[in-house]
Amino acid sequence: MTADTLIEAPDVAQPATGWSQEAIARCVATVVRSRRATRAFKAQPLGRALVEEILADAACAPSGANIQPWRVYVVSGAVKNELTDALVAASRAGTAPAPEHFPEPLPDTYRARLADFGARYYASLGIERHDTPARTRQTERNYAFFGAPVGLVFSIDRRLKAHSWIDLGLFAQSVMIAAKARGIDTCPQVAFAQFHEPIAAHLQMPADEVTAFGMSMGYGDPEAEVNRARMPRERVQDFARLLGFGD
């Protein structure tokens, strides 16, 4: 993309709504705090126009030097189902490289949180800790985008560094918030990263792109137990140090 193909950023400094700052803050907090990783969806479809609106909002995400390194493939219908079939087949073949998203060994603090996540997640599904076949079946649900009508695959130029992967993460969170503001649920999924080869072949990605993660998108099923699992957060005083405030 060259500079002359860029669209001008809209000036949204003054909200057009006439809402008070307090109302806007409450609204944003409600959306941010109600977003959940959603792993069961209603059959209700999601139209192309709505997805494009969400992506246009998310494209306002910041990026270092405004290089906007995000790339996203959005799949629905038969294209999504064919991708799912290819990934399930690749997963069952057991030929994909091992997942690399956490170091081995994982530092204790994070290992404890990972264990807490696993306990909550599998309890919400009624899956016992040592029931490996059931866990494997649930992992495979990732590749079916947990039954969501729309799936996204986020990729990035493999030559870029960690700095630009931050941009991609900010973009993804913006997608999730823009979706949630419209009542649409999502689940970000690193489970796709392992399957770059079949994904790239299926989506005809250029050779310089690498799959970073996927995302399910649709209307969450509020009745599904898995969507009722709640993941706790550290308190601000435990992860932040505020310095120089004089109190």
Length of the chain: 247
Residues 10-69 that bind ligand FMN (CB under 6 A): 36-37, 39
Of 37 and 175, the one with the shorter C-beta distance to ligand FMN is: 37
Give the C-alpha separation, 21 to 30, whole Å.
Answer: 14
**216 scored as a contact of ligand FMN (CB under 6 A):** no
Residue of 97, 116, 189 lying closest to 146 (CA atoms)? 189
**231 scored as a contact of ligand FMN (CB under 6 A):** yes
**117 scored as a contact of ligand FMN (CB under 6 A):** yes
Pair type for strands 71-76 and 150-157: antiparallel
Q: Are 220 and 40 in contact (CB under 8 A)?
A: yes
Of 12 and 236, the one with the shorter C-beta distance to ligand FMN is: 236
Which range binds ligand FMN by CB under 6 A, 12-20, 26-34, 52-60, 182-190? 182-190
**Burial 39-63, CB ≥16 within 10 A → b, else e:** bbbbeeebeeeebeebbebbbebeb
**187 scored as a contact of ligand FMN (CB under 6 A):** yes
| Cβ at position 191, least distance to ligand FMN in Å | 3
Residues engaged in binding ligand FMN (CB under 6 A): 36-37, 39, 117, 142, 187-191, 213, 231
